[in-house]
Structure 1
Amino acid sequence: MEFALGPTALSAGYRLTAYPRIGSTNQEAILAARSEDPGAHWFVTTDQTAGRGRRGRAWVAPVGNLAATLLIVTPHDPATAATLGFVAGLALDEALRAVAPDLAVHIGLDAFDGVGAPGRADRLRLKWPNDVLLDGGKLAGIGLEAESLDGGRLAVAIGIGVNVVAAPEGLPYPATSLAMLGLRIEAPAVFIALSNAFAGLIRIWDGGRGFPVIRKLWLERAAGLGEPVAVRVGEDVFSGAFETIDEQGRLVVRSASGLSRTIAAGEVHFGAVATVRA
């Protein structure tokens, strides 16, 4: 099965470059931007050998997983561009629900039909700032890189990795893959759904003007909302309850004493793990 854009993405004018093997799809996107690529351009592979994750960590992607980067060229506004990570999270969530509907909701033995019914739990959740969780394990991650261009423009490489055939080992957090759940879904099928979902959601985002809608949708699918969290920022750890994200996508945590803190970047740990790591 070869990579292809979904019909919504095609009609919106997106382009696609697929590689059998490449060092980093993010790097290819940035190089293209330096060569005056106008953006709306996907770079994809199932064999990425030199990807980078959060804080410059190696982004290990076993062969068969999806590594995709969307290049967007926008007016130079890094704060607004950073909110594209939430668009990507929603697009991934929507794509995964499309290709594997059974992943969305787990129904316990005592469950009955209906929203909020006992025993029903949404298995897919979005973790601030840029992960997709399935049953609490990391299924996908998002990493943004940006570079200033001439003419007051900003190139944004939105890197997306999905554990399709395998989850990386030796991580400091639980991870899972579609194959581990017995799902025979290939990376190109996930990508078709992702490209369609992104094309629709970025229209809602509308250069950042529609971020209030994106924020609302994201919060409806957020992991740990209202629950205890510990956020590591450098060497400091701030504990409290995950209250919301603000109008810029920053995490808002409220301590037991009522102190509210807004965090632009950090590593989040939930529940009992938050207590231990704090």
Structure 2
Amino acid sequence: MGFSLSPLAASEGYRLAAFDRVGSTNATALELAREGDAGKIWLVSKRQEAGRGRRGRPWETPEGNLAATLLLVPSFDLKNSATLGFVAGLALGDALDAVIPHAKFAVGMDGGTARSGGRFELKWPNDVLADGAKLSGILLESTMLENERFALAIGIGVNVVASPREVPYPATSLAELGAKCDAETLFLALSDAWMDNMRAWDEGRGLKTIRQRWLTRAAGLGSEVAVQVDGQVVRGVFETIDDECRFVIRKANGEAVVITAGDVHFGAVASAAPV
């Protein structure tokens, strides 16, 4: 079957543009915005040839994986938009639960805390884990438009049929986990789950709710962690995320460190992280 929006998303004015192949769904979305597109459009493909992740890292999407970007040209403040990565992570987690309702995953060395029954977990700031390995990455990019407006591209890449091999972290795919799900089915669920979480976010006014939901899925909560920040490594216990969704570490000396951006490693990976 082809890609389609959920009835709820379509009823709320969201649109869909599907591509057989694309360079980057994020780049294409931002170009549409610069050409005058009003936003609320999902761009999707099962083959992305020039995708990128955080810090400019390449994100390859071989045939059958999901590359999806939601373009928004919003009226809310640009500062508020940064927390939409947490909304996207929650939406994807909910979508995965919907299409793979009985998933049972172990917890790998960079995965977090074992819980009975297994689940998809969210790794701060914008990754989704399964079996302790990276299943999905989320990347937010923006561009300024005329009249002090801006466009926001919320990119979501999911390893459906294959995962990258030459990466510095564990990675997996739905196929490797034995899940029977294709990109089209997952996107349909994602476009639906986005609606609930976006409404809860409420242009930033509902960030408290989003934070609470995110913490119920948080990978590594209460475990040893190492975060690389500007060439330095901060070690301690992952205590929480604060009211602005910043990462909070409690160091061995009792000091709380609030981190805005950085690379997070748990468990054995945290212990081996270079100083």
Range into which the TM-score falls when normalised by the shorter chain: over 0.9
Matched, 1:225 2:221: yes
Q: Which moved more, 1:31-40 or 1:155-164?
A: 31-40
Q: Partner residue of 1:70? A: 70
Change (3 A) 1:150 1:247: farther
Change (3 A) 1:119 1:69: closer
- Helix, strand or coil: the match of 1:92? helix
Q: Partner residue of 1:49? A: 49
Q: Partner residue of 1:267? A: 263
Matched, 1:27 2:27: yes
Q: Partner residue of 1:95? A: 95
Q: Partner residue of 1:86? A: 86
Matched, 1:122 2:81: no
Matched, 1:189 2:185: yes
For 1:6 and 1:52, locate their aligned partners in 2 and report how far apart those are by CA, in whole Å: 27
Shift of 1:76: 6.2
For 1:166 and 1:119, locate their aligned partners in 2 and report how far apart those are by CA, in whole Å: 26
Given that 1:96 and 1:190 are in contact with CA atoms closer than 8 Å, whether structure 2 keeps it comes out as yes
Q: Partner residue of 2:36? A: 36
Deviations, residues 164-185 of structure 1 (Å, cap 9, x unaligned): 0001111111111111122231
What fraction of aligned residue pairs are identical, expressed as a percent?
A: 56
Q: Partner residue of 2:242? A: 246
Q: Partner residue of 1:3? A: 3
For 2:77 and 2:248, locate their aligned partners in 1 and report how far apart those are by CA, in whole Å: 22
For 1:200 and 1:254, locate their aligned partners in 2 and report how far apart those are by CA, in whole Å: 33
Given that 1:231 and 1:269 are in contact with CA atoms closer than 8 Å, whether structure 2 keeps it comes out as yes
Shift of 1:152: 2.7
Q: Partner residue of 1:161? A: 157
Matched, 1:132 2:128: yes
Paired positions, count: 267
For 2:267 and 2:105, locate their aligned partners in 1 and report how far apart those are by CA, in whole Å: 20
Structure 2 unaligned spans of 5+: 107-113
Shift of 1:79: 2.6
For 1:148 and 1:215, locate their aligned partners in 2 and report how far apart those are by CA, in whole Å: 27
- Helix, strand or coil: the match of 1:132? strand
Structure 1 unaligned spans of 5+: 108-117
> Normalising by the residue count of structure 2, what TM-score does the alignment of the two structures yield?
0.93
Shift of 1:150: 2.1
